[in-house]
A = this chain, B = another copy of it.
Amino acid sequence: MIIGQVIGSVFSTRKSEKLIGNKFMIVRPEKSMKADGNDLVAIDIIGAGIGEKVLVAEGSAARIGCDMKDAPVDAAIVGIIDEGQELSD
């Protein structure tokens, strides 16, 4: 998993019907986790807000681990990092 910050969300009206009801959050990985230029779009099963630091699972873990095994989802916010923790940036 990686840790990143929710920097926004994005809307898609015309989409796979399996994605209906999901929010698409844009997550910017911590600098220590990924080089620049690697934001990703993740669904959010936790209810994260803009600016919060979150734990993101990628690949089949996102799909299967979030009970969406038949949906075209490859990244999901699966936890919110507790505040006040130092992450090595």
Contact = CB atoms under 8 A, between A and B. Distances in A.
B37 A33 contact: yes
A62 to B, nearest CB: 6
B74 A1 contact: yes
A40 to B, nearest CB: 6
Interface residues of A, number: 61
B72 A76 contact: yes
Interface string A70-89: 11111110111110011110
Contacts of A35: 35-38
Interface in A34-89: 34-42, 45-47, 55, 57-66, 69-76, 78-82, 85-88
Interface of A: 1-3, 7-8, 10-16, 18-19, 24, 26, 28, 30-42, 45-47, 55, 57-66, 69-76, 78-82, 85-88
